[in-house]
Amino acid sequence: MIVEMSLQLLKHPQMQFGATTFFAKQHKGDTCGSNGLPLTPNSIIIVGRAQILKTFNCKYLCQYLDVIRGKHERTIVVSQYCGEPLVSCIEKRPFDWQEVRQIAFQCIGGLQVLHKKKIIHRTLSNENILLQANNEIKLFNYGLYHMSDAGSLVSFPILHVLYTAPEVFLNGLSNSIADPKCDIWSLGICLAELILNKLLWSSLKLGQRIRKVLSMLQASTSILEKIAREHNCLERYLSIPDDLKDLIEACLNVHPNKRPTCEELLIKPCFDSLKPKDMAEKNEDIYRPFQIFTLHEFYHWWQLAGGDVPQELKKQGLIRSTPPILSIPSLVLIEGTILGQDRNPATLYDPRIVKMPLDTLYQRFAHIPFQVFYPLIHSQSDIIEKSNPPPYDATGLPLIIKERDPEYQLHRVILLRRLLHGYPFTSDLIVDEAKKDIPPLLRGEIWAALLSVRSNYATEYMRIDKYTHTSTDRQIEVDIPRCHQYNELLSSSEGHKKLKRILKAWVYKNSQYVYWQGLDSLTAPFLFLNFNDEAKAFACLSNFVPKFLYNFFLKDNSAVIEEYLCKFSQLIAFHDPQLANHLRDINFYPQLFAIPWFLTLFSHVFPLYKILHLWDKLLLCDSSFPIHIGLSILTQLRDRLLTSGFNECILLFSDLPEVDIEKCVALSSCTYENTPKSITSREHENEVYHKKSNLDITGVSLNELKNELCPRISVRDVANILLKNPHKMLLIDIRNTRAYKRCSVVNSTHIPFSSVSFTENIIENVGRDSDLLKSKGEKIVVVVGDEETDLETFPKFLLQCNISKVCVLHGGFNKFLELPASLSIPCASVGDPSERQRN
Amino acid sequence: MANRSGTAQRPNGQTQGKICQFKLVLLGESAVGKSSLVLRFVKGQFHEYQESTIGAAFLTQTICLDDTTVKFEIWDTAGQERYHSLAPMYYRGAQAAIVVYDITNQDTFGRAKTWVKELQRQASPNIVIALAGNKQDLANKRLVEYEEAQTYADENGLLFMETSAKTAMNVNDIFLAIAKKLPKNEQNTGQTGSGQGRRLTEDNPDNKTVMNCCK
Ligand SMILES: Nc1nc2c(ncn2[C@@H]2O[C@H](COP(=O)(O)OP(=O)(O)O)[C@@H](O)[C@H]2O)c(=O)[nH]1
Ligand SMILES: [Mg+2]
């Protein structure tokens, strides 16, 4: 019973979609652009332009879902498709006047939305007005003219002869003076058909139809009347109420400038009875109830469950493969011109619509309990919590599998969209869920939530000047066509424009920073995820930089970057002394290979799909995470690095080999969690995210840092570990015996600096405690000194003996004296056997 | 794609004659085609959507010249002015440099001249400098005349060629010309693989400044 209810949800009559296909105009032979490089394929430009259509969510418009590129510039458009086209109702049943009014009202409503967004339908006809079971209509295929850039990207005319306004023919089809008024004419013809209940000129051939349309220009009487006469339905015409007659006549005005706009039509008396009466109805759009799932989500699950649009089109014969021999040109001229390869014009555009079968999805989801669609988010009652169906268990599955499991994604999407709906109040819950994994369909929004993007982001973006020419423009312009161009969206002209605007906005907004090459790559993932919401992409970037790349884009960023690279070297030394020693021996410094890693947070070195997974994790961590990622990459390549000299190593990084991102994420999370925070703390961190006190590391100059091969550790971290996990730490006190005897930490090991010979790197040189160090395992080795001790030589010596996890207590022994009571650790002085608690 | 002349070969283990290693650096404004030239020379490829270079990239290629095997260790640098301060790290100790400009963009030629000046002042005194006017395939959009560049090169003792990474024109030739001009004395012979790259930092011990050392 409950299962049936969820099937009913899924089988909603408007949860259906279909696909159409056409060919984009092919560039001739190997024509090049003015830069000598191949032109962007028109199908890619179309994909870019079509994206915005996916955001239209008006009940009178079919939703666009996807645009897919096939071979040879084939373009497939997937869109909601439900209900019955009006053509198949006309002449089958009469429409009463009120029904016509209603249909007219809704069509104008749909057109109004389009025209406001500067989109012209151009092919409005009774074939693509779909009547729904609830008597509402939806316009279909309204985006073709827009996505094909007024038809210039395809080589077939975009029109429906019978419904086309006469001026369109007069201006010439290729002449693209875009005027929304042509849609009003088409609407007039649609309504005429409907009201006369007659398919107009259905027996005429194409040429004759065009002549008919043009003959309207000479009509001396009303056009509707003329049409009625020609179709022998004058009687019906005479019975039409005046208000409707007036509406249709107004639409069928041969002068486009005298034809009313949508707004003008909507105030006509014929719609008086249909206007929303009260506020609630007027604000319907604002108070639209929360949709349990959207058509986009439904389509996503359908795809995961094996739905394949091109495959369906093949099955229905809309995509046919021709034997290659037939595509050989008839003649190739010596300078390269190809002749006789033209595609049969009849195949350029296929008017057929293929409905996508949904049965597989229904079967796949048939057993899903109804409650899954209403996930429990907050509950203080055990009983309620237990009555919930057990969560779908996907733990332990590889991320790639989870992302492709339709059922798992159903659960995740349902839950996370609920949470996003409650953002910012649900921020904590979103973070918790994001720690498990991030459903790809909602990644853009989830990232924005993780980056605390605020709700006024769009207005803020709007206020920024993105157009005034600046001296950075040339650099931005030459970088964009080199930025992740394997990706369709980013290589489309729409993508280029958007990226440019975002970068210019960022440079404008951040006057303290400048554009560094690499910022383009850094922006790319945000744009890719928010292609239809440029402002959000910008907001994400704006919040991302201060959190993870604070001051990296200063005009003089040398101090920031150098410190970062030093910390990277130290982290390598901390976790992998052998590798650190080798890299130092061959002079393989991070400066030579790691700048693009950190400056772009790997967005310049990895393809997008890898960056997404990497950043999924990064966004949950702090600005030290990138150096752990760096370490994990080195760890993955460790064997090759250890056996290679300088050249081989540097070559390895010029062409970074396949890096397994899941492994990379796992490794870096592991070191991130097992490294005391202060090991990676930096002077140049953003204070907003890293508050510091006297118990943390402060005041280390770059020159000091450069000489320290092992990292410092803060007294706070040392005390915490000593109090909670004393077995995880080895405290080595290298002060002189007098100082040690006066006061020392209980259980610390005393190896006076002066007692060790540093001539060779042999751990036995430290004396009897060498075994302790050799068998220390994963313990952290904290070297404690004071102002009088040399604090570089000893840790360096340990490092060179391949002792891992060596660090130096920042501030020396006296820092212990500054600890507050809550963190005080046991100290003792030799000769005074009673341990005393210090504070 | 006949993009590689017979003389350019990967090392094949035969060690007849001497082996010389040279460090070569590419300099020039962004997007003039430095990375594309290196890619063409090293791998015989051309990518229309060549990614921009951040910091620098390192590649090697070996060519045979009579009885000498010449191994180039190539540093391909970032073009943006901001990365300028990194450049000394790469050109210090270099025996050769290719300064690249785009023949369809006058500004890049101006920038190339600045690089030449800087090299003459700061780099090793014997450095062999070649000037490459790239994107020769776009000669119909040319804004820098061949003669103008040739005259400038002559005055400054530079090798000069117009190249095209796209069509491979003169790409191997310019490297070959450099190889011919480089002195093949004892100093530069050594076993393949020993890090000539070390010079990179050894010659420059106190200047580990990464970016914008602001001079
Ligand atoms: N037409 C043409 N384009 C080129 C040529 N060399 C490079 N390009 C293009 O110019 C752009 C910049 O090249 P790139 O090698 O990245 O320049 P770099 O910044 O100097 O390394 C890329 O889009 C290349 O495809 C050439 O010889 N001819
Ligand atoms: Mg480059």
Mean pLDDT of A208-228: 90
Atom of ligand 1 nearest to the CA of A35: 1
The token duo for B183 is: 């002195």
Residues 176-195 on B with a CB inside 8 Å of A are 193-195
Minimum distance, in Å, between the CA of residue A40 and any CA atom of chain B: 11
pLDDT of residue A4: 75
Q: How far is CA A251 from CA A94, A246, A257, A268, B99, in A?
A: 22, 9, 11, 12, 66
Mean pLDDT of A295-302: 97
Contact assessment for residue A143 and residue A157, using Cβ atoms and an 8 Å cutoff: no
End-to-end CA distance of chain B: 45
> Domains of chain A by range and CATH?
9-81+291-361 (no CATH), 85-277 (1.10.510.10), 375-450 (no CATH), 457-548 (1.10.8.270), 558-680 (1.10.472.80), 702-835 (3.40.250.10)
Distance CA A452, CA A428 (A): 11
Q: How confident is the model at residue A617 (pLDDT cuts 50, 70, 90)?
A: very high
The residue whose CA is least distant from atom 12 of ligand 1 is B31
Residues A770, A774, A778: CA angle, nearest 5 degrees: 135
DSSP A800-822: HTT--SEEEETT-GGGGGG--GG
Q: pLDDT of A180-191, one tens digit each?
A: 999 999 999 999
Q: How confident is the model at residue A221 (pLDDT cuts 50, 70, 90)?
A: confident
Atom of ligand 1 nearest to the CA of B100: 20
Residue A324 scores a pLDDT above 60:
yes
pLDDT of residue B199: 41
3-state DSSP assignment of residue A513: strand
Q: Is B197 on the interface with A (CB under 8 A)?
A: yes
Residue from A650, A655, A706 whose CB has the most chain B CBs within 10 Å, to mutate? A650
pLDDT of residue A328: 78
Check CB contact under 8 Å for B52 and A483. Answer: yes
Cβ-nearest to A647 among B56, B195, B209: B195
**Which residues lie closer than 8 Å to A215 by C-beta, 6 or more apart?**
none
Distance CA A492, CA A48 (A): 5
Distance CA A553, CA B22 (A): 34
Share of chain A above pLDDT 70, in %: 96
pLDDT of residue B86: 83
Q: What is the pLDDT of chain A when averaged over all its residues?
A: 91
Minimum distance, in Å, between the CA of residue B157 and any CA atom of chain A: 31
Size of chain A, expressed as the number of residues it contains: 839
From start to end of A592-726, where are the E strands? 712-713
Q: pLDDT of A103-156, one tens digit each?
A: 999 999 999 999 999 999 999 999 999 999 999 999 999 999 999 999 999 999
Minimum distance, in Å, between the CA of residue A652 and any CA atom of chain B: 9
pLDDT of residue A174: 67
Type and span of the H or E element at B96: strand B96-102
- Burial grade of A658 (CB within 10 A; 0-12, 13-18, 19 or more): exposed
Residue A280 scores a pLDDT above 70:
no
Q: What is the pTM of this model?
A: 0.92
End-to-end CA distance of chain A: 68
Residues 632-661 on A with a CB inside 8 Å of B are 645-648, 650-651, 653-654
Q: Which of B26, B36, B164 to mutate to test the pocket of ligand 1 (most atoms within 8 A of CB)?
A: B36
Distance CA A12, CA A80 (A): 12
Average pLDDT along chain B, 215 residues, taken 10 residues at a time: 40 62 96 97 93 91 90 93 86 95 97 96 94 96 97 97 97 96 71 40 40 36
Q: Is the CB of A688 under 6 A from ligand 1?
A: no
Q: pLDDT of A761-785, one tens digit each?
A: 999 988 889 999 999 999 999 999 9
State the sign of the Cα–Cα–Cα–Cα dihedral A327, A328, A329, A333: positive
**Which residues of chain A does B60 touch, with a Cβ-Cβ cutoff of 8 Å?**
647, 651
Ligand nearest to the CA of B27: 1
**Beta A729-733 vs A749-750: how paired, if at all?**
parallel
Q: Is B207 on the interface with A (CB under 8 A)?
A: no
**Which residues of chain A does B196 touch, with a Cβ-Cβ cutoff of 8 Å?**
647
Minimum distance, in Å, between the CA of residue B208 and any CA atom of chain A: 8
The token duo for B109 is: 């030629």
Residue A679 scores a pLDDT above 80:
yes
pLDDT of residue B4: 38
- Burial grade of A131 (CB within 10 A; 0-12, 13-18, 19 or more): buried
Residue A286 scores a pLDDT above 70:
no
Q: Is A556 on the interface with B (CB under 8 A)?
A: yes
Distance CA A49, CA A143 (A): 10
Residues 92-131 on B with a CB inside 8 Å of A are none
Q: Which of A180, A117, A150 is nearest to A46 (CA)?
A: A150
Distance CA B19, CA A333 (A): 47
DSSP assignment letter at A135: S
Q: pLDDT of A66-90, one tens digit each?
A: 999 998 899 999 999 999 999 999 9
Contact assessment for residue A130 and residue A81, using Cβ atoms and an 8 Å cutoff: yes
Distance (angstroms) between ligand 1 centre and the Cα of B84 equals: 19
Q: pLDDT of A13-32, one tens digit each?
A: 999 999 999 999 988 766 77
Q: How confident is the model at residue A578 (pLDDT cuts 50, 70, 90)?
A: very high
Mean pLDDT of A707-719: 96
With CA atoms as reference, the chain B residue closest to A35 would be B138
What ipTM does the predicted assembly reach?
Answer: 0.86
Mean pLDDT of A731-742: 94
DSSP B59-79: EEEEEEETTEEEEEEEEEEP-
3-state DSSP assignment of residue B24: strand
Minimum distance, in Å, between the CA of residue B77 and any CA atom of chain A: 11
Check CB contact under 8 Å for A561 and B196. Answer: no
Least confident range from A156-160, A322-326, B62-66: namely A322-326
**Which residues of chain B does A475 touch, with a Cβ-Cβ cutoff of 8 Å?**
30, 80
Distance CA B34, CA B26 (A): 6
Angle between helix A443-450 and A519-529 (nearest 10): 120
DSSP assignment letter at A483: S
Q: How confident is the model at residue A658 (pLDDT cuts 50, 70, 90)?
A: confident
Residue A176 scores a pLDDT above 70:
no
Residue A828 Rama label (left phi>0; alpha psi -120 to 50; beta): beta
Q: Cα-Cα-Cα-Cα dihedral of A711, A681, A443, A430, to 10°? A: 120
Beta bridge partner(s), residue B97: B25, B129
Q: Is the CB of A37 under 6 A from ligand 1?
A: yes
Q: Which of B162, B119, B121 is nearest to B25 (CA)?
A: B119
Amino acid sitting at position A392: Y
Q: Is B43 on the interface with A (CB under 8 A)?
A: no
Amino acid sitting at position A381: S
Residue A839 scores a pLDDT above 60:
no
**Which residues lie closer than 8 Å to A574 by C-beta, 6 or more apart?**
A675, A679, A710, A711, A804, A805, A806, A807
**Which residues lie closer than 8 Å to A833 by C-beta, 6 or more apart?**
none
Atom of ligand 1 nearest to the CA of B134: 27
pLDDT of residue B3: 39
**Which residues of chain B does A589 touch, with a Cβ-Cβ cutoff of 8 Å?**
201, 208
Residues A762, A766, A769: CA angle, nearest 5 degrees: 115
Q: How far is CA A69 from CA A448, A534, A568, in A?
A: 29, 23, 43
Phi, psi of A317 (to 5 degrees): 80, 15
Distance CA A334, CA A255 (A): 51
Q: Is A174 on the interface with B (CB under 8 A)?
A: no
Check CB contact under 8 Å for B51 and A483. Answer: yes
Cβ-nearest to B195 among A589, A591, A646: A646
pLDDT of residue A277: 65
Q: Is A485 on the interface with B (CB under 8 A)?
A: yes
3-state DSSP assignment of residue A137: strand
Check CB contact under 8 Å for A491 and B135. Answer: no
Residue A476 scores a pLDDT above 90:
yes
The stretches of A252-335 forming alpha helices (DSSP H) are 262-266, 279-282, 295-304, 309-315
Phi, psi of B208 (to 5 degrees): -90, 10
Q: Which of A433, A463, A461 is nearest to A447 (CA)?
A: A433
Distance of CA A61 to the CA centre of its chain: 25
Residue A323 scores a pLDDT above 90:
no
